[in-house]
Amino acid sequence: MESSKANSTDHGNALIEVQKGLHPLRLARLSLFQGCLGCLAVIFAGMLNRIMISELAFPAILVGGGLAFEQLMAPSRVLFGNLSDSWPIRGRRRTPYIWLGSAGFCLMSVLSIPLIFITEKALQKGEPIQIAASALGLCILFSLYGLAVSMATTPYLALVIDLTNEKERPKAVGVIWCMLTIGIVVGAIAISIATKGLDGVGDPALLEPALQKFMISVSIIIFIITLISCWGIEPQQLSKSGSQSLSSESKEVGLKAAWELITSSKQIIIFFVFLILYTLGLFLQDPILESYGAEVFNLPISKTTLLNAFWGTGTLLGLLFAGLWITPRLGKLTTARMGCWMIISSLILLILSGTTANVNGLYGVLVIFGISAGIATNSALSLMLDLTLPEVAGTFVGVWGLAQALSRALGKILGGGLLDLGRLIISPENPMLAFSFVFSLETIIMLLALVVLGKLSIQQFKKDTLTKMETLLIADLD
């Protein structure tokens, strides 16, 4: 047991030396990968979502359900995390999986365009077998896209953890999250410029070649940036000398023991539920926002895509305000509560903006909504770090990531499904009422998240898990 402890300590000291290498410029370069994900996210959840619903007249439940399959692949993150720990490729444990996953989701992005228009043709013909086959094909494609994203993002986050110490990690996570938002904004602006010639175009014969050319170009650029982002950033010392030790370390706390640790504190369950409610309350409008702009405000494709730019800009400002000023002064829990209340207020304003159909008012509300989301997200990320044990960081990050991914998947399904339900039971003639129905339910969900947040105690979490962690480590060393 003493020998095992000594080896573990020596290995930990070796890692600390490696972790000092993530300087600001290298962190900025590494964060480019996250920006690429933000750009692709706005294409799938924004542009393609709107085109399928509004231009191609897909049922919203089909679109939301298909896109949700990406998030339903989230449990695979555990598998890919273990693979990157245990099976290095050419001496590297993280970057090969990041690149393979990136190649996968870029390929799926290109293949999505022809499959979307094959589905459109099947819907136009009205043949049930063709419709079912095409819809199944879309679900499979989005599932493969989700698997590729999981394959890339899990080792990516593990690489960030490998290269940073506990003190540096919050700053690194903040920079990376900001870059994700910047990617959303840049992607939204690029899409707006590239699709300006498609305004008012509803003919699939014209839409398909234009979108296919755009998607090929974007996918090539994103893959090149991904290669540049991670090239040479994983130190040789970490991948060679540390791979065997890390592989054995990853098995110190097995699945059963990890589950015992996760369920050892009621606070973990409370925060898990909060993350589900918070993420659902924040993203339930995501699959229908551009359709809201199209149907209630009569905006063309290039303009509805800009809605994500306004939302993303506000989110970036909120992240910066919270990280540099609000959270350090008010504390994480207080800032989280304030952010949730601001999101609730923003959703109410979003409904009110639709009653006037004022486009500038909508843009302003989305900036406010984004600021609110940024403030709440910064505090939620900080709480996540506080509720993560360094000894089993991968396990906890996986759990928190799973909560967010599943709730985002549920949001994609419910967002489109609730819109269809609103049209059916409230008013098929007035789209404003159907959208307001969804936004109102989103407000209620965020209120429930606030109730759950009120039961969270970081001190109790540390007290509950400390003894359990020590017990598990001693048992494994024996």
Kindly report, residue by residue over 277-293, the tens digit of the pLDDT. 999 999 898 888 988 99
Q: Which of 249, 276, 291 is the last residue of a domain?
A: 249
Q: Which helix (H) or strand (E) holds 461?
A: helix 458-477
**Does any domain span residue 238?**
yes
Looking up tokens 């296919």, which residue turns up?
212
Same domain, 54 and 139: yes
- Crossing angle of helices 60-72 and 128-163, rounded to 10°: 40
Contact 93, 234 (CB under 8 A): yes
Average pLDDT, the chain: 81
Distance separating the N- and C-terminal Cα atoms of the chain: 6
**Does any domain span residue 4?**
no
pLDDT tens by residue, 378-411:
888 878 767 866 556 556 666 777 787 778 778 8
**Does any domain span residue 94?**
yes
Q: Which of 249, 281, 302 is the last residue of a domain?
A: 249
Query: CA-CA distance, 172 to 336, in Å (whole number)?
Result: 20
Which CATH number characterizes residue 257's domain? 1.20.1250.20
409-447 in b/e form (b: 16+ CB < 10 A) is bbbbbbbbbbbebbbeeeeeeebbebbbbbbebbbebbe
**Does any domain span residue 476?**
no
- Residue numbers of the domain that contains 392: 253-470
Same domain, 282 and 422: yes
Q: Which of 249, 277, 294 is the last residue of a domain?
A: 249
Of the pLDDT bands very low, low, confident and very high (cuts 50, 70, 90), residue 135 is confident
- Count the domains in the chain: 2
Same domain, 342 and 228: no
- Crossing angle of helices 393-425 and 431-453, rounded to 10°: 150
pLDDT tens by residue, 416-432:
889 989 988 887 788 99
Same domain, 46 and 151: yes
Dihedral sign of CA atoms 200, 204, 209, 214 in order: positive
**DSSP per-residue letters across 234-264:** S-HHHHHTTHHHHHHHTTTS-HHHHHHHHTT
Query: CA-CA distance, 156 to 162, in Å (whole number)?
Result: 10
Query: CA-CA distance, 232 to 240, in Å (whole number)?
Result: 14
Query: CA-CA distance, 439 to 435, in Å (whole number)?
Result: 6
Of the pLDDT bands very low, low, confident and very high (cuts 50, 70, 90), residue 337 is very high
In this structure, what DSSP letter does residue 392 have? Answer: G
- Overall pTM > 0.75: no
**Does any domain span residue 267?**
yes
**Does any domain span residue 7?**
no
Same domain, 53 and 156: yes
Same domain, 245 and 363: no
Query: CA-CA distance, 221 to 209, in Å (whole number)?
Result: 19
Higher pLDDT, residue 471 or 186: 186
User: Mapping DSSP to helix (H, G, I), strand (E, B) and coil, where does residue 89 land?
Assistant: strand
Same domain, 308 and 437: yes
Report the half-sphere exposure of 192 (CA within 13 A, side-chain side): 16
Same domain, 314 and 275: yes
Same domain, 259 and 210: no
Query: CA-CA distance, 336 to 381, in Å (whole number)?
Result: 10
Same domain, 227 and 280: no
What does the block give as tokens for 281?
């309350």
Which CATH number characterizes residue 217's domain? 1.20.1250
**Does any domain span residue 349?**
yes
Same domain, 279 and 232: no
Same domain, 64 and 47: yes
**Does any domain span residue 90?**
yes
